Amino acid sequence: NAGVTQTPKFRVLKTGQSMTLLCAQDMNHEYMYWYRQDPGMGLRLIHYSVGEGTTAKGEVPDGYNVSRLKKQNFLLGLESAAPSQTSVYFCASSYVGTGGGQPQHFGDGTRLSIL
């Protein structure tokens, strides 16, 4: 049971390059999320999706785009990478439930460095 899988695990980019981070979950979850974690800060929500074909902006969406063409996959794109986007990126998924107590299941993260 893989849970939530993120690829790649590490990547170094040059300023201005583009790339896509892939998140795949095998738990048939409706909700999927992308977060970034920076030193001294909690996880901050970039974008999220409440179902296949839907996406919405989170707290820090600028510079990122997302797509959810299939229920199990949630892609995070950087069109023109900037050094400020150096971070650890986490993908998470969860069931739709009554109340906000549904736990999120996280991938192991992608460590991205922008030079």
Partner 1 sequence: DQQVKQNSPSLSVQEGRISILNCDYTNSMFDYFLWYKKYPAEGPTFLISISSIKDKNEDGRFTVFLNKSAKHLSLHIVPSQPGDSAVYFCAASLFTSGTYKYIFGTGTRLKVLA
Interface residue list for partner 1 (CB under 8 A):
4, 31, 33, 35, 40-45, 48, 50, 56, 58, 90, 92, 99-109
CB of 15 to partner 1, least distance (A): 26
Of residues 82 and 96, the one with the C-beta less far from partner 1: 96
The secondary element (H helix, E strand) that includes residue 57 is strand 56-57
Angle in degrees, CA 1, 46, 3, rounded to 5 = 0
Of residues 58 and 77, the one with the C-beta less far from partner 1: 58
* DSSP labels, 67-101: E-SSTTEEEEEESS--GGG-EEEEEEEE---SSTT
The secondary element (H helix, E strand) that includes residue 32 is strand 31-37
CB of 98 to partner 1, least distance (A): 10
Of residues 14 and 101, the one with the C-beta less far from partner 1: 101
CB of 30 to partner 1, least distance (A): 10
